[in-house]
Structure 1
C-alpha cells in the first residue's frame, strides 16, 4: 500500500518501495526522522543501506545535510547561500561548466516544460559556479554537473551550495585535483575487491584496464543511472557510507553480472559491457550485498590500499562521523598535500624518463668513473701489486 509524500518541488511522490504494508513504511519513516533529530549518523547509515533508503526527498532534505556535516543553523553555512559569490573572480573552468549544463537533465525530470528545464539549468549553473568561485582551488571535471543536478532536485536552495561544497572538498576531492592519477588509483582497487571475492572473475575482467568504471565512480553513478528515484536512493547509501563504498557498489554490480561477463572474450567487448550499467538493477539488493562485500573484504585488506595517499578521500572519509566534523579548510589542506605528492611523483617520473632516455651515456659515465676510482684506490694498487710479480715491471 502506497504512502504519499511531498517533495521539495511540491510534487507528490508515490511509491510503496517494496514494503508489504503501510505500517512497515511508517515505522521506517519514523525511525529515519528520529535519527535525523538526534543527528545519529550510525543509525542513518544502517537505514540508508536497508530497503528503500531514506524513502522520500522530504526526508533526504534532513538526512543528507547531516551526513555531510552541514549545520544550517550556523551563520557561516547560511552565508554560503547568499549572492555574494557573483562578485567573486570567475573560475577558470566556467566555460566547460556552461557546456555541460547545456547538456544536463537528459533523463529526468521528464515531465517539465522547456521553460521549467531552462530554469533548472540556470539554477544548476549558479550552484556549480558558486561552489567553484568560493573554492577556486577545486578543479571542475566533466560529470560533476551530473552529481550537482541530483542535489539540486533533492535539496532546497538554502542547503544546496553548502552540501555540494562539503561533498566536493571532503568526499570527492580526489576527482577535483589537477591530475587524474588519484582517480585512477581508486579504480585499481576494484580488481583487488574482485580478486578477494571471486579470483576467477577477476582474472577474466582483468583482460581490460579498470577504466570502464571511471564514469560511474567519478559521478557517483549519476551519469549512467537513468531513473531519478534510483539515483536518489543510491545517493542515500553513498552519502551514508565512506567514499570507498562506491568502489564496492561497482564491484558488486560486476559480481552480479558474472555469467554475462564470462560470455565476453574480447577485451574491447568486456570494456564496453562493463562500462554500461544494466537496466534491470535491483539497487536495494546491490547496496545490501555491497555492504556485506565491504564487511568481508574491508579496504585495509586490499592489496593496493597501502599505496593510497593518506590525504585521499578514501582514507580521510573512512569514518563518516569524523568526516562530518571536518571543515572546508581541512579539505583544502588535504588538497594541497595531495598536490604536493602529485608534483613530487611527477618530478620522479620525469627523472626516470630522462635517465632511461640517456641510459647509454649514463652507463658509460658510470663505468668510466668506476674505472678511474678503482685504479686510484689504495685497494686496487694493493691488489695489482699482490697479483703481478715485480720482475714484470
Structure 2
C-alpha cells in the first residue's frame, strides 16, 4: 500500500513540475522583449556560472534585476548554491525510501497540521486531487528530512519554505536541498528553543542605528519581534505570489544567511515616512505596521538597498554581533564562500555545539535565580564563598568549550551581577 501511495505521489509531483516547467520554458523561449539580447546573455552567464560553480558570479547575478529569471534556471542554480554536488549521491536521494522505517519524529503531528493549511496562495490552478497530491508530497519531503535528522526541531513556517522548494526544484534534488538548507542556512531556527532566532533579531536595530539614527530612535521603544515571521520563514510565509518568493530565494540563497536581516532593514527604511508619522510612544501601532510587508513589494529596489546596507555596515561592526550571536550560529559559520561549501556533518557539529551553549545558558539562568532569591543571606556569607560554590556546581555539571576555567568565567559573571545589586 505504501509503495502504491509513493508511486502515486511521485506521479503527481511530476505533473506539478511539468506544469511549472512548461510555464517557465515558455518564458525561456519567448522573452518579454525578443529584441533585447541582454536576457539571453544573462541566461548564458548564469548557466555557465553554475557549470563552473562560480559562486561570486552567481552572487552578483542573483542581485541583478530579475535574479535567475526562470524556474528552469533555478533548478540549476539553487542546488549549486546549497552545496549539492551533481557527482554525489545527493541527487539520488529521491530513490531512498529508508526514511519510512525510521522512528517517527516528535513533531510529525504539527507537520501534518501545517501541511493541511499549505498551498493557500499558489499554485492556484490545481484541482482538489492535485492539491491533495501536492500536500502528500510536501508532508513526505518534510517528514523524510526530520526522520533522517531527528535532532532538528520543526517550527511553524518551515512548511512554507519547503513548499517553495517543492514547487521549484525537480524531485531528484529536493531532499538534499532541504537537508542542506535546514542544517546550513536556517539551523538556528531548528534548535530546541527560539533564543538563537531572537538573538538574530537584535542585529536589526543595530543596522538601523548605523544607517538611519533618526529612524532607529523613533523605533527604539519597539522590540524587533515584528521581523520574526519574515526572517524565520525566509519571507515565504508573508509573500503570497510564487514569482516574488522564488525571486527572493535567488538572493537569499546566493548570499550569507545574515542577508535576510539586511533585507528586513531595507524594508523598514523603505517605509520611513510612514513610520515617522506614527508617534513613537505608540509601539503597538508601530509593531502592527512593521509586522506586515508593504504592498506592493518592490523587490528589486529592496534587494539593491539591502546589498548596499550589508556592504556599508557589515555584521562584524554591529554591536550585537559578538554579544548576541553564537560562534556556532549560521550567521557566523555561513560567512563568505564557506556558506556554499559546508557539509551536513559540519552543520550537525555546529548544531550540537549550539545546543550545549543553550544548556549552559539555561543552567546559568537558573543559578542566577537562586542567587537573586537568596541575595540577603549570600551577602552575609560573603562574595568569595558565592564564587567558590558556583564554581564547584558549574564545574560538576558543565564546562562550555571556548571558556577559560569555569571559576574564571564565574568570577566575571558573578562580578557583573554583583555590581548591579
- TM-score, normalised relative to structure 2: 0.83
How far apart, in 1, do the equivalents of 2:301 and 2:22 lie?
28
The answer for the alignment partner of 1:187 in structure 2 is 201
- 1:63 equivalent to 2:80? Answer no
CA contact (8 A) 1:213 1:250 kept: yes
Q: 1:107 to 1:149 in 2, by over 3 A?
A: same
What's the CA shift string for 1:23-75, capped at 9, x where partnerless?
11111111111111111111000000000000000000000000000113212
- What is the CA-CA distance between 1:365 and the residue it aligns to? 2.9
- 1:316 equivalent to 2:333? Answer yes
- 1:332 equivalent to 2:348? Answer yes
How far apart, in 1, do the equivalents of 2:353 and 2:19 lie?
38
What's the CA shift string for 1:69-94, capped at 9, x where partnerless?
01132125424642111111111100
The answer for the alignment partner of 2:289 in structure 1 is 273
Unaligned runs of 5+ in 2: 1-16, 387-421
- What is the CA-CA distance between 1:279 and the residue it aligns to? 1.6
- What is the CA-CA distance between 1:17 and the residue it aligns to? 8.9
What's the CA shift string for 1:75-120, capped at 9, x where partnerless?
2542464211111111110000000000111111112111111111
How far apart, in 1, do the equivalents of 2:378 and 2:35 lie?
77
Q: Decide which structure has the larger Cα Rg and report it.
A: 1
- What is the CA-CA distance between 1:354 and the residue it aligns to? 1.1
The answer for the alignment partner of 2:151 in structure 1 is 137
How far apart, in 1, do the equivalents of 2:90 and 2:242 lie?
31
The answer for the alignment partner of 1:156 in structure 2 is 170
- After TM superposition, the structure 1 = structure 2 runs for residues 12-91 of structure 1, keeping only pairs within 5 Å, are 12-13=23-24, 21-79=35-93, 81-91=95-105
The answer for the alignment partner of 1:147 in structure 2 is 161
Aligned residues: 364
- After TM superposition, the structure 1 = structure 2 runs for residues 1-393 of structure 1, keeping only pairs within 5 Å, are 9-13=20-24, 21-79=35-93, 81-265=95-279, 266-307=282-323, 308-319=325-336, 321-366=337-382
CA contact (8 A) 1:81 1:157 kept: no
- What is the CA-CA distance between 1:10 and the residue it aligns to? 3.9
Q: 1:65 to 1:281 in 2, by over 3 A?
A: same
2:173 counterpart SS class: helix
What's the CA shift string for 1:157-180, capped at 9, x where partnerless?
100000000000111000000011
Q: 1:114 to 1:98 in 2, by over 3 A?
A: same
How far apart, in 2, do the equivalents of 1:338 and 1:154 lie?
31
1:22 counterpart SS class: coil
The answer for the alignment partner of 2:419 in structure 1 is none
How far apart, in 2, do the equivalents of 1:17 and 1:195 lie?
42
How far apart, in 1, do the equivalents of 2:32 and 2:362 lie?
51
Instruction: Output the aligned Cα RMSD.
Output: 2.0
How far apart, in 2, do the equivalents of 1:322 and 1:300 lie?
16
How far apart, in 1, do the equivalents of 2:328 and 2:31 lie?
38
- What is the CA-CA distance between 1:290 and the residue it aligns to? 0.5
CA contact (8 A) 2:21 2:71 kept: no
- TM-score, normalised relative to structure 1: 0.89
Q: 1:350 to 1:68 in 2, by over 3 A?
A: same
Unaligned runs of 5+ in 1: 1-5, 371-393
- What is the CA-CA distance between 1:123 and the residue it aligns to? 0.4
Q: 1:84 to 1:350 in 2, by over 3 A?
A: same
- What is the CA-CA distance between 1:323 and the residue it aligns to? 2.5
- What is the CA-CA distance between 1:8 and the residue it aligns to? 6.6
